[in-house]
Each structure stands twice: as structure tokens, then as C-alpha cells.
Amino acid sequence: MNDLSQFKAFVKKTAWKNKAALPGLDLKEIEAECWTALILAIYRWDGAKGKLGSWIYTAVTGRMKDLRKRPARMEIYLENMDFFGMGEDLSEKVLENGPGSPSL
């Protein structure tokens, strides 16, 4: 399994299929994510549990699904930034008075 070139077409095809679903990433970034998932899948593969091709397909497509969920999570985070920003005054007081100080 020293030759990764056999997976080049799979990576390119998977990246192209997910290009429209991942507008924040360009094609090269999506391909890099595919290659990362593929290499991790090869590293974690146990031959007793199934074929390498099936394992790689599952790992790479799963990573693409995770990336498609990411924008939704980011939007929720950005919507709550105002809420998180309220804690800045509190953290400044903690820094001034020291942790555990009762004068907050």
C-alpha cells in the first residue's frame, strides 16, 4: 500500500462532488481534506474488519459530511457572539482582582 496514486481519481471526484456544498472552501482545500481523511483511514484500517476501499470511502465521505455541517455550527456560534462577549467584562475583573476573588 505504498502507492497512493490509485486513489487520486477518487479524491478528485469526491472533491468535485462536494464543491457546491462547501462554498467556503476552494477545490484544492477540499482535496486536501480528502487526502487527510484518506491517509488517516489507511493508518487506522484493520484488515480483519473489511476491505480497505470500503473503509476509505466511508472515512472520506464522512469527513465531507462533517465539513458540510461546519457552516451551520459556525452560524450558531456567530449568532451567540454577543452573548459570549458579555463575559469580557467579567474576565477583565478576574484579571484585575485575581481568580477566586469575591469582589466580582
Residues 28-77: pLDDT tens digits?
A: 999 999 999 999 999 999 989 899 999 999 999 999 999 988 765 556 65
Residue 27 located in a structural domain: yes
Helix (H, G, I), strand (E, B) or coil at 53: helix
Assigned C-alpha cell, 71: 457552516
Residue 70 located in a structural domain: yes
Residue 104 located in a structural domain: no
Give the pLDDT of residue 104: 45
Domain limits at 91? 7-96
Residue 24 located in a structural domain: yes
Residue 2 located in a structural domain: no
Give the pLDDT of residue 96: 60
Cβ within 8 Å of residue 103, ≥6 positions away? 97
pTM: 0.65
CA dist 16 and 32 (Å) reads 12
Number of domains in the chain: 1
Between CA 40 and CA 83, with CA 25 as vertex, the angle to 5 degrees is 95
